[in-house]
């Protein structure tokens, strides 16, 4: 074997309340290895660099091709998907940390339930009459479809929220991913019928007005979703909604 060893420094935590600690692991450096394949190597030989046998590191992953959104972590200080983080492109030694804006479950696993709860708050769905056969969907231009498609690629991975200075562990800020969903569904001919509900949901505490315009969300999004455009657009839509609310209430 001509493989050189690769050093990974990993921030670990046994339980949600416990203190975090760092451990260092050596794994074989193979061509096109990514962070997940390195973590798999640790599972096969869970021994730290100084020879201590430990429990394998735990992490979340599933598709390993950046469409499921599971494997978000902070790699060399930057939040991203671990599956597309090829070690050849990373500075060494590599550091891995769990996201800091979500409660840690264990090691690199965090609890992102808040993101899914937010989808309920803004009713991120199309209210269809039922799944029985009532014919075709609405006509739509391919340009509008393309605009929606880019937004609908959001994997609820959490990168944008980890990077956002406004989003913290204990506040109620909805964040870029959620605002993007409001725009996505407001752009659909049927989804638009519940537009007001969604806009009213992002007008209160933690809503769109709390966005500090740091614009880092768009930089870290692995799917290149135009999040700042979505935020600006939802900002405009809520302004109109607020005015409308004054006259209708």
Partner 1 sequence: MMNRKKKIVVIGGGLAGLALAMKFCERNGEVTVVSYQSLKRSHSVCAQGGINAAIDAKNEGDTPEKHFYDTIKGGDFLAHQPLVRDMCYQAPAIIHLMDRMGVAFNRTGEGHLDFRRFGGTLYNRTAFAGATTGQQLVYALDEQVRRHVHDGSAKTLEWHEYLGAVLDSEGICRGAVIHDLRTDEIYTLQADAVVLATGGPGQVYARSTNSVVNTGAAATTAYLQGAKYANGEFIQIHPTAIPGQDKLRLMSESARGEGGRIWVPRDANDKRNPKKIPESERYYFLEERYPLFKNLVPRDVASREIYDIVYNQNLGVSGDPMVYLDLTHKSREFLDNRLGGIMDIYTKFTGVDPRETPMKIFPAVHYSMGGLWTDYGPDNDGLIDHGSPRNQMTSIQGLFAAGEADYQYHGANRLGANSLLSCIYTGLMMARGIMNYTDSLEKSVEDIPSTVFDDTRAHWQNRFNDIKKMDGTENPHKLHHELGDIMLANVLIVRDNKSLDKAVHEINDIETRFKDVKCLDTNDWANPSPSFINQLYCMIHLSKIITKGALMRDEFRGSHYKPDFDLHQPKDFDPHEYIDYLEQKQYGEVSQEKFPADHLTYMKRFEENNEKWLKTTVAQYKDNQPEITYEEVNTSLVTPRPRKYD
Contact positions toward partner 1, by CB under 8 A? 14-15, 30, 32-34, 36-37, 40, 43-46, 55-56, 58, 60-70, 83-84, 86, 105-106, 109, 112-113, 116, 119-120, 123-128, 130-131, 133-142, 145-146, 148-149, 152-153, 155-156, 185, 188, 190-191
Longest CA–CA separation in the chain, Å: 75
Query: Of 24 and 190, which has the nearer Cβ to partner 1?
Result: 190
For residues 163 and 187, which CB has a smaller minimum distance to partner 1 in the complex?
187
Nearer to partner 1, 132 or 249 (CB): 132
Q: Give, in order, the Cα–Cα distances in Å from 92 to each of 2, 23, 95, 199, 228.
A: 19, 15, 8, 45, 32
What values do phi and psi take at 29, rounded to 5?
-95, 105
Residues in the chain: 249
Q: Which of 85, 82, 55 is nearest to 70 (CA)?
A: 82
- To partner 1, the closest distance from the beta carbon of 200 in angstroms equals 16
Residue with smaller CB distance to partner 1, 188 or 211: 188
Q: For residues 202 and 242, give the distance between their C-alpha atoms in angstroms, rounded to a whole number.
A: 11
Least distance from partner 1 to the Cβ atom of residue 194, Å: 11
Q: How near is the Cβ of 246 to partner 1 at its closest, in Å? A: 28
Q: Answer yes or no: are the C-beta atoms of 87 and 93 closer than 8 Å.
A: no
Smallest separation (angstroms) from partner 1 to the CB of 165: 25
Distance CA 200, CA 222 (A): 29
CB of 173 to partner 1, least distance (A): 20
């Amino acid at each position: 074997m001509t493989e050189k060893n690769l050093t990974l420094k990993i921030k670990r935590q046994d339980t949600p309340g416990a203190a975090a600690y760092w451990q260092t692991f050596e794994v074989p450096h193979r061509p096109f290895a990514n962070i997940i394949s390195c973590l798999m190597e640790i599972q096969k030989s869970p021994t730290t660099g100084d020879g201590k046998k430990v429990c394998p590191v735990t992490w979340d992953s599933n598709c390993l091709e950046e469409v499921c959104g599971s494997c978000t972590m902070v790699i060399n200080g930057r939040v991203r998907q671990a599956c597309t983080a090829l070690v050849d492109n990373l500075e060494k030694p590599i550091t891995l940390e769990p996201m800091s804006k979500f409660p840690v479950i264990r090691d690199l696993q965090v609890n992102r339930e808040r993101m899914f709860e937010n989808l309920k708050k803004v009713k991120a769905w199309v209210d269809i009459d039922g799944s029985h056969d009532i014919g075709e969907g609405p006509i739509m231009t391919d340009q509008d479809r393309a605009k929606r498609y880019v937004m609908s690629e959001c994997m609820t991975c959490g990168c944008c929220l980890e990077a956002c200075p406004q989003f913290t562990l204990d506040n109620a800020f909805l964040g870029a991913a959620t605002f993007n969903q409001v725009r996505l569904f407001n752009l659909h001919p049927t989804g638009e019928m519940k537009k007001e509900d969604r806009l009213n949901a992002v007008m209160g505490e933690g809503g769109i007005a709390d966005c500090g315009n740091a614009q880092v969300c768009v930089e870290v999004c692995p799917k290149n979703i135009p999040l700042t455009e979505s935020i600006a657009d939802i900002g405009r839509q809520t302004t109109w909604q607020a005015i409308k609310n004054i006259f209708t209430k």
